[in-house]
Amino acid sequence: MASSIGQWTQEVYGQVSTPDLISRKVFAGADLPSAAHDVFTYVSPEHNVGPVAAVTINFAGAQRYSAQRLRQGASSLNNAPELFLRLMAESAARALWKRMACSISSDSDANAPAQLIDIARAAEPFDADTTYINLTYKLGDGDGEDSWLIEGETAAPEIGVIVRLSAIKSLAKAFQEDAARPKSQDDTGRGVLRERVRHTSVVLDAVLDSMRMTIGECAEMKIGQVISLPGAKMDKLDLSAGTVSGSLPISQGELGAWKGQRALKLKAPVPEDVIREIAEI
């Protein structure tokens, strides 16, 4: 999990960091602990059965991410409204949710929701009869030249993930079974490495269209608002995979229906360079 957080840190902040686990608390859904005033907690607007129940980003983390998106110094947002920082950091929260869910489970239900909301807006964000564990990590590498405490900052970013305890137990059991399984002579060779790479989870995004919008326009969006997509074509969706180095184009497809559900039909093969790179590992 710490490795996934490190990858997320490089993805959203563009900086290498060693996550430091500073808090680990177990609680029942009916006994939800109150969140700190300087922490933004994001949950799914609908009931979800995946391993991740919520993610958190503190004020310093949201401030730093927002400043990077706006290409400004973090100190320039010291007086930024909390609503602005929370909305700006939602995309980073979704990326964190995806990373953590994929690191814990390979099930299809592990994908991040299409939208996250503030926990204050959720009616029942946690199941009363379910046990959760809240893990909080601090990002930074001490006081060296790569320290996050730069540009006059006084606090390092902290992020958290609230996970179903049953998912953590299942993950630990899988590790134990793997450790107890007899190893072949090739376990440290190229074959094992290739197999692990092929089974590494990534998040696929099917994008219909993209558009530019100002921060002010985003803040004024309302439920029921109609947004025109003049360049969108139902028979052309771009399929890409989220990686540490960014979005990797995978294929193209068209949107349709299959067995009563929305589905994507691929119209182009996976690029040869991607297949070749995996084959040459």
pLDDT top residue among 137 and 262: 137
- Of 144, 172, 200, the residue that ends a domain is 172
What domain range includes position 106? Answer: 2-172
Residue 50 structure tokens: 């995946």
* Residues 27-61: tens digit of each pLDDT: 887 776 665 567 899 998 887 768 898 999 999 89
Q: Average pLDDT in the 74-92 region?
A: 87
Average pLDDT, the chain: 78
Residue 179 lies in a domain: no
Confidence of residue 152 (pLDDT cuts 50, 70, 90): very low
Q: Is residue 203 over pLDDT 60?
A: yes
* Residues 156-172: tens digit of each pLDDT: 889 999 988 888 888 77
Residue 178 lies in a domain: no
Residues 152 and 209 reside in one and the same domain: no
Residues 55 and 148 reside in one and the same domain: yes
Place of tokens 């439920």: 223
Residue 156 structure tokens: 């390092």
What is the per-residue pLDDT for 57? 94
Q: Residue 264 belongs to a domain with what CATH number?
A: 2.30.330.10
- Of 172, 207, 240, the residue that ends a domain is 172
Amino acid found at 188: T
What is the per-residue pLDDT for 151? 47
Residues 142 and 203 reside in one and the same domain: no
User: Which of 139, 136, 140 is closest to 161 using CA atoms?
Assistant: 136
Residues 67/79, Cβ–Cβ less than 8 Å: no
Total domains, the chain? 2
Question: How far is the C-alpha of 175 from the C-alpha of 221, rounded, in Å?
Answer: 45
Our measurement of the distance from residue 214's CA atom to the centroid of its chain's CA atoms, rounded to an integer in Å, reads 23
Q: Average pLDDT in the 129-137 region?
A: 90
Q: Is residue 187 over pLDDT 60?
A: no
* Residues 96-130: tens digit of each pLDDT: 998 888 888 766 455 667 788 888 888 778 888 88
Q: Is residue 146 over pLDDT 60?
A: no
Residues 150 and 263 reside in one and the same domain: no
